[in-house]
Amino acid sequence: MHKIRLMMPLVAVALLAAPIHAAVPKSTVAAAVADTSRQADNRKLDEGRHPAEVLAFAQVKPGSTVVDFMAGGGYYTEMLSRLVGPKGSVLPMNPAGFHKAEVWDAIQKSHANVTPLIAPVNNMSLAPRSVDLIFTHLVYHDLYWESEKFNFARVDVDAMVANWFRALRPGGTVVIVDHVGPGGDTRALVDKLHRIDPAKVRADMERAGFVLDGEADSLRMKDDDHSKNVFDPAIRGKTDRFMMRFRKPA
């Protein structure tokens, strides 16, 4: 039985981290992507997700504590685990209905520094100054989603992002990769297309006190039709995506 933490309402999680050093080099990122111990179902997604570009942009540092927010099946968790190394830790967070125990048991067998955190989305609360990086991949828009079918409650986005700000150590970062969407009613847009306007993301983060630390356009796809749902078979895995990195001032 591997470690899994069930997060209770307003119960914070704090883990000690080793001193943080410079970001891992691109060669180390490439090795993490190429690691054959990764789950086969995850490796099949590499072509459409471009993990080397994403992880290089994330500037992961060895020895750090990283939250993989709404980690799904652990696609990035496995690679983040290799990048932070044995002195670091990765905390993949998932709502209970999205946690598949057999998947995470397999991941933890080869990644001793991974501890899943399971809770309803509105109970995903982290202790002040307890983590170095919060990583979100194609899920930030879900903060504006709600679904009775999937038992996914309406999220107080400002409260969630404010908790991220408190949870990060000074100088810590949030990395957000998501599908580009048009402006307008964000909740309606997410419900229909599962996209989000990058300007909305930036406004949310800056309102909480974050500063924009970097952007990258290596995942941009100029031919993507922003009016199509990201799960449309014609564009799935080929959507226009933005990457933003936000920093908590030191």
Query: Does 5 fall in a domain?
Result: no
pLDDT value, residue 3: 65
- Structural domain contains residue 7: no
Q: Are strands 131-137 and 89-94 parallel, antiparallel or unpaired?
A: unpaired
- Residue 233 has which token pair? 């078979």
In this prediction, residue 15 carries a pLDDT of: 45
Please provide the distance, in angstroms rounded to a whole number, between the alpha carbons at the two ends of the chain. 39
Any domain includes 12: no
pLDDT (tens digit, 9 = 90+) per residue, 162-210? 999 999 999 999 999 999 999 999 999 999 999 999 999 999 999 999 9
Indicate whether 8 belongs to any domain: no
Cβ distance 232 to 152 under 8 Å?
no
pLDDT at 96: 85
Containing structural domain, residue 37 = 17-247
Is 105 inside any structural domain? yes
Total structural domains in the chain? 1
CB 121 within 8 A of CB 151: no
In a domain, 98, yes or no: yes
Residue with tokens 């796809």: 221
CATH code for the domain in which residue 26 is found: 3.40.50.150
- Residue 28, in any domain of the structure: yes
